[in-house]
Amino acid sequence: MRTLVIGTGGREHALARALSRDPGVEEVHAAPGNPGMATVATCHDVDPMSGDGVAALAEKLGADLVVIGPEAPLVAGVADAVRQRGIACFGPSREAAELEGSKAFAKHVMAAAGVPTAAARVCTTRAEAEQALAELGAPYVVKDDGLAAGKGVVVTDDLETAIAHAVACERVVIEEYLDGPEVSLFAITDGTTVRPLQPAQDFKRIHDGDQGPNTGGMGAYTPLTWAPPGLVEEVTRDVLQPTVDEMARRGTPFAGLLYAGLALTRRGVRVVEFNARFGDPETQALLALLDSPISPLLHGAATGSLAEVPPPTWRSGAAVAVVMASRGYPETSSNGDVVTGVEAAESLDGVHVIHAGTALRDGDLVTAGGRVLAVVATGADVATARETAYAGVAALDFEGAQHRTDIARRLPSSPTVQEPTP
């Protein structure tokens, strides 16, 4: 199979790497790619937001499968443009990607499908926002309706901060606060059949102890040894399958990767958000443990034949990914600082480095964005993988590098679900 991965981030590097190790894949191409992807794929210069550009490249390469990594091209309909040329494409249509593109739309779908989620109000004026905040109470959760690269959500006890965020956005979703450990559960789907992956956990805040602003994700690990037994089955039954069925019922089937961001509250599982693509950096950890080849799953989802593909299998042990971000992230980011130590990190047993915001300048690897790279380590258990990942981090360096020191350090305990009092 000839494959083409669209995107430049860590998720796309991890996908290209998995495809390059898949015995069913002869060629891996990437566009635009990054210096890490260039070690496992042939990179091409194409604007990922251009449906015509991506489709033309796929046609020229004779690609059998195009994988669209990031949300922005999906929401812009790039997968539709590829499919129009008769090429199999992993990633939802423009209409189905609205599950991520609009938080208000996602709330409507969840309501129609009976999927448990936080109570919410959609607000477009200051008065509406003030009323919703008063009704739902503190802590306040205010979400920009549109795409914001994981940075559009403000969770705060301060009413003025909450109002200011609501006013700064055109349209916001104001939500009930969900208390409890968060889980990312991804499912590969062809619009009918749902194949859940192993749960993972992401660390969204920039600083240790979940302090500071939200980011795209500063680290991840899998599996979740503390999660309640039966979680995957429960979420598949109550969240993933009903959502996929509801999208099909609307005539806009969702085929691709359905990302359920969940909170395990004392009242049960609740959806925090949906995304329409693989999570970053959870994917880096997950694909490090995926034992079965990835191409049959992606191709099955892209061609409506996922029911014929066996469910994924996982290696025992654990994987931990620690993100190294550049100076100023998440408010800003910096470019051009020389990155050293990739080879040294990768010489450690069980470690590989996934590139996200990197570039080559005069033969040097330099920073080129907020999240620069992720150090991924596997090990017999989470603690071992974590220790190895941090040994990798210690080998790497660039001016202004930031990373959390507590990824996968303190694992949550499984919440006890309380039955609602009648």
| Structure token digits, residue 316 | 């025992």
Question: Which CB, 61 or 218, lies closer to ligand GLY?
Answer: 218
For the bound state, the minimum distance from the C-beta of residue 130 to ligand AMP, rounded and expressed in Å, comes to: 18
The β-bridge relationship of strands 172-175 and 205-207 is unpaired
- Enter the tokens of residue 8: 């430049």
Q: Select the residue interacting with ligand AMP from 182, 208, 238, 397 (CB under 6 A).
A: 182
Q: Are 392 and 205 in contact (CB under 8 A)?
A: no
**In the numeric block, which tokens belong to residue 108?**
């409507």
Binding-site partner at residue 280 among ligand AMP, ligand GLY, none, CB < 5 to 8 Å by type: ligand GLY
- 10, 91, 199, 261: residue in contact with ligand AMP (rule CB under 6 A): 261
* Size of site (CB under 6 A) for ligand AMP: 15
What are the helix (H) ranges across 86-178?
98-101, 103-113, 126-136, 159-168
- Report the residue number, 153 or 276, with the smaller CB distance to ligand AMP: 153
- Contacts (Cβ under 8 Å, ≥6 apart) of 391: 348, 351, 377
State the nearest-atom distance from the C-beta of 408 to ligand AMP, in Å: 16
The item of ligand AMP, ligand GLY, none sharing an interface with residue 143, based on CB under 5 to 8 Å by kind, is: ligand AMP
8 A C-beta contact, residue 25 and residue 3: yes
Smallest distance from ligand AMP to CB 185, Å: 13
Choose from ligand GLY, ligand AMP, none: what does 279 bind? Cβ within 5-8 Å by kind: ligand GLY
| Of the residues 178, 297, 325, 345, which one makes contact with ligand AMP according to CB under 6 A | 178
Distance CA 342, CA 5 (A): 23
Q: In whole angstroms, give the CA distance from residue 104 to residue 108.
A: 6
Restricting to residues 110-129, which ones interact with ligand AMP according to CB under 6 A?
A: 118
Cα–Cα distance between 21 and 319 in angstroms, integer?
18
Minimum distance of ligand GLY from residue 36's CB (angstroms): 18
Q: Which residues contact 277 (CB under 8 A, 6 or more apart)?
A: 11, 68, 69, 70, 71, 74, 91, 100, 256, 257, 259
The residue sitting closest to ligand GLY, measured at its beta carbon, is 217
**Site residues (vs ligand AMP, CB under 6 A):** 118, 141, 143, 150, 153, 155, 175, 177-178, 182, 204, 214, 261, 272-273
